[in-house]
Amino acid sequence: MKILFKTIPNHTVSDKEKSKLKVAFESVGMEMTDNEQDYDIALIKGFSNTWEQVKHLEKPKVLLHIGVNYGLHEDLEQSNWQVKEIYEKADAVVYISDFAKLITEKIFPKRNNELDRTIYMAGKPNLPETYFEGEPTCVTTGIWREWKRKEDSIELARRKGFKLIIIGDQNIYKDNNIESVGWKDDYKEIYHNAHIFLNPSLHETLGNVTIEAMQYGLPVICTNHGATKEIVGNTGIIIDNDIPDDERPKMYGGIQHVIPEKFDEAFDTMMADLSSYREKVKARVKEELNEQTCGQKFKELFELCLKKYQS
């Protein structure tokens, strides 16, 4: 089966997603193609395309939907309407998380299509053969969005004194126990020499970095906001930050950080029972957060789409 993947060309994030999906598809005998004249299913990345750009494609069109900008800030919400027509007309929608579906249905009408489903975007895992036992070390992401709450991880590191590695920040620096390493092609060495991944973000429709960290064997501390909690499940610690997902105010009103006492308690609890959390992460990765599970779920959906198209 040949899958035409329509996304932003030569875009760092999109290229990484494409590479991850390519591995997942190939693991179950599918092929990714750019040839619009020779394909079986079109997989269309939302926000990368408008309906006008893809309506000429005659075969089944599946929307890979990352969700909508709900309760973040006004200048982002205009991008919602770029994906609205594809969302309504696609033969099937793949939500990258249940949370992405939740917030989408607060803005767009429910589709009620039996083909629609959630599939986590997981590539090939890289679990460590032996776990790191050096000085307490955590990893967090430094993406610039305010709701990512990098500052909360930094403050936790200062309070607790552990080594903190920040990935993905535009600034590269080292300040005592805190080091920002910027963007890298391969984070294996960093993840395999750490104990915990911190994701204090107040909004994620998926959180690719969380899946990536777990695939490298790191248990996660996160908030109860967005999709991160459904990825982590019982493998990590989810901090109740006292605000429900379905009542997100603009820029989160008065709650703009993770409650420090709860962050401290979560860190202490995880470090005290780290081997147990590591085993839970390993089991979750082997069961679901891997390329074969991801590829198989896409394959089953594509087969259903083709069956309906050919009938």
Q: What's at 263, amino acid-wise?
A: F
| Two structure tokens written together for 227 | 């999709």
CATH code: domain 137-287 is: 3.40.50.2000
pTM, two decimals, is 0.90
| DSSP H stretches of helix in 27-149 | 51-54, 74-77, 80-89, 98-104
* Residues 279-302 as b or e (16 or more Cβ within 10 Å = b): ebbbebbeeebbbebbbbbbbebb
Domains 2-124+290-310 and 137-287 share a fold: yes
Instruction: From first to last of the 311 residues of the chain, give the pLDDT tens digit.
Output: 999 999 876 555 678 888 999 999 999 999 999 999 999 999 998 777 778 889 999 999 999 987 765 554 444 455 566 778 888 999 999 999 998 888 888 788 899 999 999 999 999 999 999 999 999 999 998 776 677 788 899 999 999 999 999 998 878 899 999 999 988 888 999 999 999 999 998 777 777 889 999 999 999 999 888 889 999 999 999 998 765 555 554 444 445 677 889 999 999 999 999 999 999 999 999 999 999 999 999 999 999 999 999 98
Delimit the domains of the chain by residue range.
Answer: 2-124+290-310, 137-287
2-124+290-310 folds as Rossmann fold (3.40.50)
Rounded CA gap, 217 and 209, in Å? 12
| DSSP H stretches of helix in 66-223 | 74-77, 80-89, 98-104, 150-160, 188-191, 208-215
